[in-house]
């Protein structure tokens, strides 16, 4: 707990949470939102395509979207760390924070499984692997859970 207290009193933590600068908390929160929107939004688009929406869109070219999803994840993770440093004592004692982290971890693992098990199949546009739809549904559930838990952090 002493470490968390000293972290919350660091110059960076105070700048993020107390400076009033637009480059502080507002920009970091904006980057967190953009990163999450990118990774979860692109993931949802792929998931919906795997579930049958937009059937005329070929699947194989969607593999090129994964680097953008990883970039969104990195932006979200780095900005999330900055937001955590702004108030580590509160955040690291909230159960909902750990629920969010669990959902994010499951969603990222699921995202990588989608790429390796579905998009690495050379016949992806002729037939979907058996677990493609299950991975799509769980992906949607995990990202929805992560987003909901993240939003509840401010209220619980």
Per residue in 94-153, pLDDT tens?
Answer: 999 999 999 999 999 999 999 999 988 887 878 888 899 999 999 999 999 999 999 999
Q: Is 119 exposed, middle or buried (0-12, 13-18, 19+ CB in 10 A)?
A: buried
Q: In whole angstroms, what is the distance from residue 94 CA to residue 75 CA?
A: 23
What own/partner pairs with CB < 8 Å and gap ≥ 24 does 59-62 have?
A: 59/118, 59/119, 59/124, 59/125, 59/128, 60/119, 60/124, 60/125, 62/119
Domain ranges of the chain: 2-152
Q: How confident is the model at residue 77 (pLDDT cuts 50, 70, 90)?
A: very high
Per residue in 10-60, pLDDT tens?
Answer: 777 787 777 888 888 899 999 999 999 999 999 999 999 999 999 899 999
Q: In whole angstroms, what is the distance from residue 109 CA to residue 112 CA?
A: 5
69-97: average pLDDT: 93
Note the helical H segments in 9-153.
11-18, 25-50, 66-86, 88-91, 95-114, 132-152
Q: What is the pLDDT of residue 90?
A: 86
Q: Which of 97, 114, 99, 111 is nearest to 39 (CA)?
A: 111
Q: Is 139 exposed, middle or buried (0-12, 13-18, 19+ CB in 10 A)?
A: buried
Q: What is the pLDDT of residue 68?
A: 98
């Amino acid at each position: 707990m002493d470490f968390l207290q000293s972290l919350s009193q660091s110059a960076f933590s105070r700048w993020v949470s107390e400076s009033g600068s637009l480059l502080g908390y507002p920009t970091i929160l904006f980057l967190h939102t953009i990163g999450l929107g990118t990774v979860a939004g692109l993931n949802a688009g792929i998931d919906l395509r795997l579930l049958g929406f937009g059937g005329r869109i070929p699947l194989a070219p969607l593999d090129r979207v994964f680097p953008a999803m990883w970039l969104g994840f990195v932006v979200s993770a780095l900005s999330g760390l900055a937001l955590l440093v702004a108030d580590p004592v509160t955040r690291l004692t909230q159960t909902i924070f750990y629920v969010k982290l669990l959902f994010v971890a499951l969603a990222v693992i699921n995202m990588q499984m989608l790429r390796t098990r579905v998009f690495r199949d050379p016949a992806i546009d002729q037939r979907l692997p058996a677990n493609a739809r299950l991975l799509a549904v769980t992906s949607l559930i995990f990202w929805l859970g992560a987003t909901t838990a993240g939003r509840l952090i401010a209220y619980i």
